[in-house]
Structure 1
Amino acid sequence: MTTKIERRIKIKTRVRGHISGTAERPRMTVFRSNKQIYVQIIDDLAGKTLASASSTAIEGGAKKEQAAKVGAEIAKKAQEAGVTSVVFDRNGYLYHGRIKELADAARNGGLKF
């Protein structure tokens, strides 16, 4: 019997075997805890984080609303760093709920993936 976390890590490992971030299309990865949501834009070849955002500084609102604000913030920071196109790494989470809200807000902010 596998736990929910073990299942997510198994999916994460499988997906990470297929995708990688480059200088032209860095990887946008999401981490979701019970209270917060974090997102980073990473160039895997250079091993550097180009931009990051989290919901720790956002006050109030539902979790989905916070995720949407984080998505808009990461899109803004990515444009400042000169990134327009990314590879989305959902990190083993289902593309549903907070992950979907964050991705949609990042797309509306100008990121392409």
Structure 2
Amino acid sequence: MKGKINKKYSRIRRCTKIRKNKHSNRLFRLVVHRTSRHIYAQIVVSKKSTISASASTVEFKKLNINHTYTGNKHSAKIIGQLIAERALKKGIKVVFFDRSGFKYHGRVKELAESARISGLVF
């Protein structure tokens, strides 16, 4: 149990450091959160803390996307494309990528790269 607590607190510490230092001069940020089963992405207005656009793997049933397992890189790639499309519809093109303390590796990396390919600028 002690290892899990330290792992969680170190991720939160990394998250607060990143948010404090990097996003102060940007207007929008792309916030990513992942669990073992799902991945979530939101475009947040930094000054007001309101959500402009969001996408997650929970929506796959509603969007008729057939995936038996949603905690993989392919699902993260689809979410990256969805969040980019929704942000561009709202007129948001330049964002700060906030990975919420997660390592830029695996699913987080796939989401970021597919959002870049779809038109978002980090």
Same fold (TM over 0.5): yes
Whether contact under 8 Å (1:21, 1:87) holds in the other structure is: no
Which of 6, 9, 12 matches 1:9?
Answer: 12
Distance 1:103 1:68 in 2: 8
Look up the match of 2:112: 103
Look up the match of 1:51: 53
Alpha-carbon displacement from aligned partner over 1:50-81 (angstroms, at most 9, x marks no partner): 10000112231661000000000000000011
Please say which structure displays the higher CA radius of gyration. 2
Distance 1:89 1:97 in 2: 15
Q: CA deviation at 1:111?
A: 0.2
Whether contact under 8 Å (1:21, 1:43) holds in the other structure is: no
Distance 1:85 1:12 in 2: 20
Look up the match of 2:95: 86
Q: CA deviation at 1:39?
A: 0.5
Which segments of 5 or more consecutive residues in structure 1 lack a partner in the other structure?
A: none
Which of 18, 21, 26 matches 1:18?
Answer: 21
Paired-residue identity, %: 37
Out of 100-109 and 53-62, give the one that drifted further.
53-62
Whether contact under 8 Å (2:80, 2:111) holds in the other structure is: yes
Provide the alpha-carbon RMSD of the alignment.
1.8
Q: CA deviation at 1:44?
A: 1.5
Q: CA deviation at 1:21?
A: 6.4
Q: Tell me which protein shows more helix as a share of its residues.
A: 2
Give the TM-score, by structure 1 length: 0.90
